[in-house]
Structure 1
Amino acid sequence: MDKVELYLKYRKKSYFLKGILFISLFIIAILVFGPPKYYVVPISSMIIAFGISEFVEYKSWKKDKY
């Protein structure tokens, strides 16, 4: 098993919880600020922020484990 598969197995529960958090924050933002005119920008910015945080977490995990 390569390092990415081990990392995904290690973080499986965290992905589920972060997915629920992502959806709930998006729904709350829509309720507070109203629906955005274009959904592409807020969704893509949230995905990019999530991706960057996961990349940093993966690098630190790889450094600690290997």
Structure 2
Amino acid sequence: MDDKKNRNSLKDYFQVGEVFSYFIRVFGKRDPGKPTSFNLRMMHGINKISIVVFLLAVFYLIIKRFI
């Protein structure tokens, strides 16, 4: 029975809570309690650009497929 509890279920593989919390950190308000640096700001800026380009590409492929 304990062996069954330790296995990952299909539900565990599709949890996206950490992903959405990262999007909120990157696109949302900054936490004033956390230190910031130039490198961190640049990393988040590049991540914003890559996320937007990826979503635009997915949107384009979906539109291309159905139209």
Task: Give the TM-score of the pair, scaled to structure 2.
Answer: 0.45
The higher relative CO (CA closer than 8 Å, separation ≥ 6) is in 1
Pair member with larger Rg: 2
When the two structures are superposed, what TM-score results if normalisation uses the length of structure 1? 0.45
